[in-house]
Structure 1
């Protein structure tokens, strides 16, 4: 088995990858990392979710000198991907002291200028906002050693190809270029021919992702209903061990706090929690000291825990690979598992994409009613009573029971006991921060021409197809001239 140590990486990177739970490289990583370490240009054709960030991140981080300024540039089509790339590179590069800063539209540019004063070595940027900084001279590309174009075909679809050509023209001197794209249209090939030097091609066939022994359900749930529905399912299904996946660190903290308030035994893990604390939570979960663990995708990477009976996707994952990774925490060692995914009405299209890629169908289930919850709680109480009877651990209470039966019939007495022991559905309000639903990006031709995007990646309102509207440069220049 190939490991990351086999690539001859620095100890800092090997340790960081190990702490992140990476055990062996994915196919794209196994082929791309050696090419990148040799300083060669490369074209990687691979689907989202195959580990591309680490594939280019490791060679990029290895050649960074922390005493110098910006040396690495990653271009991404969306602000979400730019942030995701920056987070991953910061985790991999943390022990080496390499800082990556996300630069994207929609965030105050003055805030980004202040962050640039902390001298990051790598920038993960959307094209339009990066050009803003280049024009302001707040980012200079004179010392760039490597440029990465991530999801190049998506940047082409979103109309950023001219911006990319301009940015690449700004990078002077020798540089290494790595381009990643799920498809390879002619326009991307032309870009590679113009700006890359004898690139090596790495092509990873899209694998069919399947999940066995796992029953998959989904529920169409509005954001405000999610927490109550989760609690209802926990009461009805009484999982032995359950993992709840949230999309953000803040979401994990809020769900854990809410569950504890309602009397559930839960703890959370995410990237901001110290490793020692995460290890403690995982150990307690394995030992069944707690029976619900709430986690982000990254924190749960590499978890090897047997006995997980239920997985709840509180927030639908970003991509099919993450979905398979999440629900794969259950249904292990030949055991059956259940995965339930909460989906808002605007995320149904994204759900269908996951189904198509994973070649699996999720069964739509209705949101449980009050009666369903009460029935579930009653059944859980009956199961607890029968367990005590099987253990024969009730002899000290027989005399008290006989005395009660002298005055009350057995059915009434047992019904009262069940009512006393059954947990009523809790209605304690728990407020969660709303998470933006995932929207499926449609092909450019389906977006209504120039009105395809109300906000560009620099965060400016572009209106309905006004001249110069996509990036707002004409308006900025007119304001500058008026001054």
Structure 2
């Protein structure tokens, strides 16, 4: 459906930006019954919320006029949790209100406060900022709230999570009591409801369809890798993708710096965003992505909200997020405003259980598999290079270029010349990585039964033990999956399992014993209290390796209460 009746300047701005019809959240806030009402709106990230509240503010800012009056004391205030999101909101509101003569000023941490003070003194229609910096300007008298007609809290749940309640309350208490208050939030937990009750008057609750569920425009995938193969998997995921832009999320600043350096060394055009960078540095990184000088952004969760790149089609979680909500916000950088995108969780084999809990908590169905192999990438390169070379051949060549071409054709065969062209086109492409094979399939077959590879006999196995036994409620139903995950082995590489009183002994195929020992020594974030070590001496090591169907060797009754 088309946009409803609104000022001509805003309709013209929407048309120029390619907005032919409103998104769900935009249509919801423009319904006639919302006029003048306080609103509590929940909608998925990437659903067009910024433009939604920009349009919702029009009656307070413009009334029946087509242009705004001369800028003076701000008429509207928009508060966002992060610098990036605040600057993104400023950019969106600037183009939306440009034709109406709107002046938008930002006040965010990391920028020069004196410059902001001068901008406020020069007058503004809308001020956008982060809670801490806005409160600072209020207390210093730089930001005068007397004329405010509306206040918007964007990503209100995130602001409370970041501990900005005191700042928000100070700002809202300073605003005129008769203002209009709009709260936009991806989720509406109890804290948001309490905030709404304290600072809104009979707020109209709007829950856009799809709240909290899987984003229909994002394809979720999970790829299982060896713990030491994460960065190589990221390389192959980037190489296999056709997206012009991608963002790779890490959990710490150190991880961002390391991965950014490695990708740059491999030939990717990459930028980094993390909390240790100044705001101008972060702004330059985003601009490099927008104008095409960079194709990959490596970032901490500081960029999980506020980055909106029209052609960002791939999000990679190089390190698993801590919470389902963080995963959804990371993923929400793609699949925005009706465009399709892909979100890929890179899952170390020993953290698969954590990844499954994340997906379940986010109510997301992901397709599990392995990362693209070097062979797959080479095959895709062949298709891409053929298309690229064909497009070049169809272009009209300059006369001087044709003269050189005739001379080369006289000396070399057409196949040799084509090979050189392909070599030149391939040269800028980073080399794909060889990845270690990891079982990435589902944990159970479709019928719920474990697979049953053939019984096999072999040489003597290697025995290990872990410090959980029958007294700790050890049970083969979870011991076997635990050993596969902790030791990065397959079920058929695990033989007999003996559950004793205070420990559990188990047999590992000789060919896998070294790999199992190395993997099980690494810290385990899911079960840090369980220690695994080889059995040194004793009867256990004298038994021959006898792998059983499904990797489940005969569970022998314990002969004693101690090892």
TM-score under structure 1 normalisation? 0.56
Alignment counterpart, residue 323 of structure 1, candidates 319, 326, 334: 334
- Rounded to whole Å, the distance in 2 between the matches of 1:21 and 1:375 is 32
The 1:426/1:93 distance shift into structure 2, 3 A limit, reads same
1:139 alignment counterpart: 143
RMSD: 4.9
1:308-319 to 2 correspondence within 5 Å?
319=330
Q: 1:138 to 1:217 in 2, by over 3 A?
A: same
Matched positions, count: 335
Question: Closer, same or farther in 2 for the Cα pair 1:16/1:184, shift >3 Å?
Answer: same
CA contact (8 A) 1:72 1:145 kept: yes
Counterpart in the other structure of 2:510 = none
Alignment of 1:144-293 (within 5 A): 144-205=148-209, 206=211, 208-210=214-216, 244-245=244-245, 248-255=286-293
Choose which of 117, 120, 126 in structure 2 pairs with 1:122. Answer: 126
Q: Do the aligned partners of 1:377 and 1:422 also contact (CA within 8 Å) in 2?
A: no
Relative to 1, partners in 2 of residues 1:367 and 1:198: Cα closer, same or farther, differing over 3 Å? same
Unaligned runs of 5+ in 2: 62-67, 248-285, 297-306, 319-327, 394-405, 431-563
Question: Which of 359, 366, 386 lines up with 2:365 in the alignment?
Answer: 359
Q: Give the deviation of 1:201 after TM superposition.
A: 1.4
Residue-by-residue CA offset, 1:118-172 (whole Å, 9 max, x unaligned): 4221111111111110111111101000011222222222221122111111113
CA pair 362-74 structure 1, distance change in 2 beyond 3 A: farther
Please give the alpha-carbon distance, in whole angstroms, between the structure 1 residues aligned to 2:23 and 2:371.
35
User: Would the aligned equivalents of 1:41 and 1:178 in 2 still touch at CA under 8 Å?
Assistant: yes
CA deviations on 1:105-130 (whole Å, 9 max, x unpaired) are: 12221222233244221111111111
Choose which of 107, 113, 116 in structure 2 pairs with 1:112. 116
8 Å CA contact retained: 1:222, 1:344:
no
- Can you list the C-alpha shifts for 1:416-454, whole angstroms capped at 9, x where unaligned? 46644532432599xxxxxxxxxxxxxxxxxxxxxxxxx
User: Which residue is equivalent to 2:81?
Assistant: 77
**Rg (Cα) greater in structure:** 2
Q: Structure 2 CA distance, aligned partners of 1:129 and 1:204?
A: 31
After TM superposition, give the deviation of residue 23 of structure 1 in Å: 2.1
Shift of 1:321: 4.4
Q: In the alignment, is residue 14 of structure 1 matched against residue 11 of structure 2?
A: yes
CA 1:363–1:113: 2 relative to 1, 3 Å: farther
**1:33 alignment partner in structure 2:** 30
Runs of 5+ unmatched residues, structure 1: 235-241, 259-295, 302-310, 331-338, 389-399, 430-483
8 Å CA contact 2:46, 2:336 repeated in 1: no
Separation in 1, partners of 2:181, 2:191: 17
Moved more, 153-162 or 28-37: 28-37
The residue that corresponds to 2:107 in the other structure is: 103
In structure 1, what is the Cα distance between the partners aligned to 2:215 and 2:336? 10
Matches within 5 A, 1:46-65: 46-64=43-61, 65=68
- Does 1 or 2 have the higher relative contact order (CA < 8 Å, sep 6+)? 1
Within 5 Å, which residues of 2 pair with 1:431-446? none
Q: Which structure features the higher share of strand residues?
A: 2
CA distance in 2, matches of 1:90, 1:11: 16
Contact 1:145 1:175 in 2 (8 A): yes
Give the Cα–Cα distance (whole angstroms) in 1 for the partners of residues 164 and 175 of structure 2: 17
1:363 is displaced (CA, Å) by 4.9
Counterpart of 2:549 in structure 1 is none
Task: Please tell me whether the aligned partners of residues 75 and 150 of structure 1 are also in contact (alpha carbons under 8 angstroms).
Answer: yes
Give runs of aligned pairs for residues 441-456 of structure 1, distance below 5 A.
Answer: none
What corresponds to 2:502 in structure 1?
A: none
2:381 & 2:355 partners in 1: Cα distance?
Answer: 31
What SS does the aligned partner of 2:334 have? Answer: helix
Find the aligned partners of 1:383 and 1:201 in 2 and give their Cα distance.
51
Determine helix, strand or coil for the equivalent of 2:69: coil
What CA distance in whole angstroms lies between the structure 1 residues aligned with 2:389 and 2:429?
25
Aligned-pair CA distance for 1:50:
2.4
TM-score (normalizing by structure 2): 0.49
Alpha-carbon distance between aligned partners in 1 of 2:293 and 2:416, rounded to the nearest angstrom: 33
Distance 1:27 1:179 in 2: 17
C-alpha distance after superposition, 1:263-283 (max 9, x if no partner): xxxxxxxxxxxxxxxxxxxxx
Distance in 2, matches of 1:251 and 1:156, equals 30
In the TM superposition, what is the alpha-carbon distance from 1:18 to its structure 2 partner?
1.5
Match of 2:37, SS state, is: coil
Aligned counterparts of 1:52 and 1:244: Cα–Cα separation in 2: 24
1:320–1:357: 8 Å Cα contact kept in structure 2? no
1:185, 1:211 → 2: CA distance?
25
